[in-house]
Amino acid sequence: DQQVKQNSPSLSVQEGRISILNCDYTNSMFDYFLWYKKYPAEGPTFLISISSIKDKNEDGRFTVFLNKSAKHLSLHIVPSQPGDSAVYFCAASAGDMRFGAGTRLTVKP
Amino acid sequence: DVKVTQSSRYLVKRTGEKVFLECVQDMDHENMFWYRQDPGLGLRLIYFSYDVKMKEKGDIPEGYSVSREKKERFSLILESASTNQTSMYLCASSLIREKLFFGSGTQLSVL
């Protein structure tokens, strides 16, 4: 039973536009949420995180939004760049980390 | 520069073999983890360790065991490899529980 779900396996956007990646979770005990980015032949790397006491965290072009009542978080990338093309994993933690299935983002020039 | 090193990038084994996947980190992290990555399933936690000689089961520990004799090394053991253990295996370490540093992964094929 997956506690963290990314329902879109892939997303394609044009360079310069906004990319929105979504994630839903079921465990109300999760209190910390993260996004990881993975390029082929490499391990995932940490991108951005948010604590459950916040509803938004911004780092440059990347913003994560958390809606606790809906158990939903999203990652916004503005503007999207071709180098952002990768698989993005949503993760949630209540001590131990649980990951979603990933969304493959393709940013077209 | 932080580093998590997995001993093999690709590994091919036969059904029934005992398989060792080694992971070493040079960041003096207390916490270490083993995940497997499968298409459509994402990363699933197999085992983790918060201290030397300590181990805890994750979501899918069946068919696996681990060893952590030294702080920097966390080994995953497949006692008798089976074809359904063909997967990408990812080791990670962390100082803060949530922020993980991953190795490049070991693609294991069990024939």
pLDDT tens, residue by residue, B23-74: 999 999 999 999 999 988 889 999 999 989 889 999 999 999 999 999 999 9
Determine, for residues B98 and A97 on separate chains, whether the beta-carbon distance falls below 8 Å: yes
Q: Which helix (H) or strand (E) holds A5?
A: strand A4-5
**Using 50, 70 and 90 to split pLDDT, how confident is the model at B99?**
confident
Q: How close is the nearest chain B Cα to the Cα of A18, in Å?
A: 24
**Using 50, 70 and 90 to split pLDDT, how confident is the model at B2?**
low
Q: How many C-beta neighbours within 10 Å does residue A83 have?
A: 9
- Taking a C-beta distance cutoff of 8 angstroms, is the pair A99, A6 a contact? no
In the prediction, which pLDDT does A39 show? 93
Facing residue for B104 by CB, picked from A36, A41, A96? A41
In the prediction, which pLDDT does B105 show? 95
In the prediction, which pLDDT does B1 show? 65
**Using 50, 70 and 90 to split pLDDT, how confident is the model at B83?**
very high
Q: What residues pair up with A96 in beta bridges, in sequence order?
A: none
**Using 50, 70 and 90 to split pLDDT, how confident is the model at A31?**
very high
Site of tokens 């158990």: A71
CA angle A74, A70, A25 (to 5 degrees): 65
What is the dihedral angle through the alpha carbons of A8, B103, B93, B34, rounded to the nearest 10 degrees?
A: 70
A70 pLDDT exceeds 90? yes
Facing residue for B41 by CB, picked from A34, A91, A101? A101
**Backbone region of residue B95 per phi and psi (left: phi > 0; alpha: psi in -120 to 50; beta: other values):** alpha
Determine, for residues B48 and A9 on separate chains, whether the beta-carbon distance falls below 8 Å: no
A26 pLDDT exceeds 80? yes
In the prediction, which pLDDT does A1 show? 66
Determine, for residues B42 and A44 on separate chains, whether the beta-carbon distance falls below 8 Å: no
Average pLDDT over residues A80-99: 93
